[in-house]
Chains A and B, each alone.
Chain A
């Protein structure tokens, strides 16, 4: 068998090298890989990213976002991510940092161009002003991280994500901007409808299991008078439950909202003692199968509240 001459071998190698060098340009229209910590950030990213991004959330919508396991399978998503969107305010502190470190992906390291802390765009409530200690429970020193439950914050975060996507993919800047404008319009219309639906129930009092309802309550003028947890992250105690029952009776509070990942035993006993309705509300997109986007999240919760208050 004849051997290939050295010159031909060199030319073949050069041709193959050239082919590989050109390969990336032929797939330049590839979508951006966006990974988010929660489904809500994924829903907002999808709104503005449209078909120019592939977005995936690490946490599920029915999962407690404070306690997600840092599974290695998440590394498979993170290692190819162009952008990582986190809720921030230390919501993910218990599980996300080792995943970021282990991902081997320089683009999404804290401080890199592909790391986006969405909390910077949102109005943050309950920022502790005095000394913060663990005696307050699992308190978030930078403020309440459940900010996406105010549609105005949803708009601000979506705008921030659109800006970041445009920064990573400048060629599609106009597309992301147009997607944001469209989302803004639809959200404004939906907000008017939601505001009108909730207007009759202004000032209504309720109790939630965890302190996750503050932003929703502020936007729709509902008053959260207490929590089933004595402190954030601390399971209910008999003393606190008795105090809460007393408070609810005094304030004539007739609604207890529970996040889908908490046990209903204590809320049900509170409901039985006070005559309050106990309902599972959704703090996140994907909390139920039918809630697949940011609009459906508010539709679901507002319908729930309307039925509860009627």
Chain B
């Protein structure tokens, strides 16, 4: 009996584990849930790893400097630290990111033949601007307006843009025209300065007014207004080498106020001419902006530019004694209903510019303005009109007038077909009527321009 009790106890003892293994239905459900949870966690880890890989593959140049203090590598910095089950070790730097130690006097070698090296290449874009012109325009000798030829590959703009390092980005825009190549803009922007300052160094379109800053392909017209042509250097405009500092200023709530100051070499088209190192030009701009409603906003600007011009005294070739000062005021009213922003919009613009140009025998005080409106009436369609009036900077008694009407069609976001009728009445009492047809097409990743 004793033995039987003992045997029963042993059997019972060993059957406990078996009993434990034969799970009842609720336990099975719990096990399944745990398994599912584990699978979900594993799936999340795989997705997190995929994400890191994606970020690394598409990373701009900024993260490629792991040795610099303060250079927060996005992929690493963005790791969901506390909650992701396992941290992923940082990958070794790519071949392109390694600067090879070289003997003194030799440049380090960057880049390589690996595909990863291309990830650090700048964004490259090309924008073609083809213009066809018809009608007559025999510009008077003293006019500053240069008519377009019948057919012209007006400009091919190559953009190279990238983040340089954790503290700056670089933008280059090379303009290939029919007469040669020009660095339209090429500058470094320091984005990590203290005090909310943003600085640029290089060659840049100055912040004088609105149109001067615009590249050809973002203009709402084929040409530029008469006031730009007569007083601010036309297509080339105030575009010069130097440096620029801007800062957002304190302002009442809801108002954006920004001040920009620029010091440039002083050579800009036929506006400024530097004959010595001290002949630098300066540009100042104050911008105020407010959202009137969710759909409507008002953008106001005041500009000032000062520099030496190319005027000379009679029987002299020495320049630099005469100054040109420009004063500008601009206003832009925009309307774009957010729910239908891709279908309808309106932009009304106006710029008023006063020029004081010292020259022999007397200072010329010219004034000009344009007013324009552009309405988007479909996802691909825009119509616009512009009125121009401007005297000439060297001959303030000669005032030209003009008007233009445009119709624009976008086959896609990356190409644009525009027709423009332009009528110009020159001060010499000569009229011209012209039709332009422009085709703009964009290749590659062209960065968005400032608003």
Interface residues of A (CB under 8 A from B): 60, 62-64, 67, 69-73, 75-76, 79, 93-95, 97-98, 100-106, 109-113, 115-117, 119-124, 134, 137-138, 142-143, 152, 156, 159-160, 162-164, 166-167, 173, 176-177, 180, 233-235, 260-263
Contact = CB atoms under 8 A, between A and B. Distances in A.
Nearest to A260: B339
Contact of B341 (A67, A70, A102, A138): A67
B54 A120 contact: yes
B341 A106 contact: no
A159 B44 CA distance: 11
B211 interface: no
Contact of B289 (A71, A101, A159, A234): A71
B60 A263 contact: no
Contacts of B44: 156, 159
27 contacts: A60-B294, A62-B338, A63-B341, A67-B342, A70-B451, A72-B256, A73-B291, A93-B445, A94-B448, A100-B191, A101-B191, A102-B450, A104-B196, A104-B197, A104-B198, A109-B192, A111-B59, A117-B55, A120-B55, A138-B412, A138-B413, A143-B54, A159-B44, A159-B80, A177-B83, A235-B380, A261-B342
Interface string B73-111: 111011111111000000000000000000000000000
A164 B81 CA distance: 7
Interface stretch (B45-53, B133-141, B352-360, B390-398): B45-53
A211 to B, nearest CB: 15
Contact of A102 (B74, B198, B299): B198
Contacts of B256: 72-73, 75-76
A173 B81 CA distance: 10
B340 interface: yes
Contacts, number: 179
Nearest to A137: B412
Contact of B451 (A98, A109, A176): A98
Q: Which of B44, B54, B194 has the most CB of A within 10 A?
A: B54
A52 B451 CA distance: 32
B83 A104 contact: no
Interface in B139-197: 163, 166-167, 169, 189, 191-197
Contact of B50 (A75, A124, A260): A124
Nearest to B254: A73
Nearest to B168: A109
Given A104-B248, A120-B54, 10 more contacts: A67-B342, A71-B297, A72-B451, A76-B256, A110-B62, A111-B71, A120-B78, A122-B51, A177-B83, A261-B340
Contact of B80 (A69, A104, A121, A260): A121
Contacts of B247: 104
Given A60-B338, A73-B256, A111 B62 contact: yes
Contact of A261 (B50, B55, B79, B339): B339
Nearest to B81: A163
A109 B165 CA distance: 10
B447 interface: yes
Interface string B233-270: 00000000000001110000010101000000000000
Interface string B289-308: 11100100101000000000
Give the residue among B48, B60, B297, B334 with the most A Cβ atoms within 10 A.
B48
A6 B40 CA distance: 71
A69 B338 CA distance: 10
B214 interface: no
B51 A111 contact: no
A181 to B, nearest CB: 9
A70 B341 CA distance: 13
Contact of A159 (B84, B339, B448): B84
B313 to A, nearest CB: 44
A73 B297 contact: yes
B96 to A, nearest CB: 16
Contacts of A93: 445, 448
Contacts of A143: 54
Nearest to A184: B83
B58 interface: yes
Contacts of B166: 109, 111-112
Contact of B191 (A76, A106, A124): A106
B345 to A, nearest CB: 9
A204 B44 CA distance: 27
Contacts of A64: 341-342
Contact of A110 (B48, B74, B334, B340): B74
Contacts of A62: 338-339
B379 interface: yes
B449 A98 contact: yes
A121 B380 CA distance: 36
Contacts of B287: 72
Interface string B435-451: 00000000001011111
A70 B450 CA distance: 7
Contacts of B413: 138, 233
Nearest to B60: A110
A164 to B, nearest CB: 6
B322 interface: no
Contact of B414 (A100, A124, A134): A134
Contacts of B336: 69
A70 B81 contact: no
Given A72-B258, A234-B412, A235-B379, A167 B81 contact: yes
A176 B256 CA distance: 33
Contact of B448 (A75, A98, A119, A123): A98
A76 B248 contact: yes
Contact of B77 (A75, A113, A180): A113
B341 A120 contact: no
B338 A63 contact: yes
A173 B339 CA distance: 38
A106 B193 CA distance: 7
B346 interface: no
A219 to B, nearest CB: 13
A5 to B, nearest CB: 34
A275 B57 CA distance: 45
Contacts of B297: 71, 73
B257 to A, nearest CB: 9
Contact of A263 (B77, B192, B343): B343
Nearest to B340: A261
A167 B78 CA distance: 9
B91 to A, nearest CB: 14
A84 to B, nearest CB: 12
A104 B191 CA distance: 6
A129 B256 CA distance: 44
Nearest to B290: A73
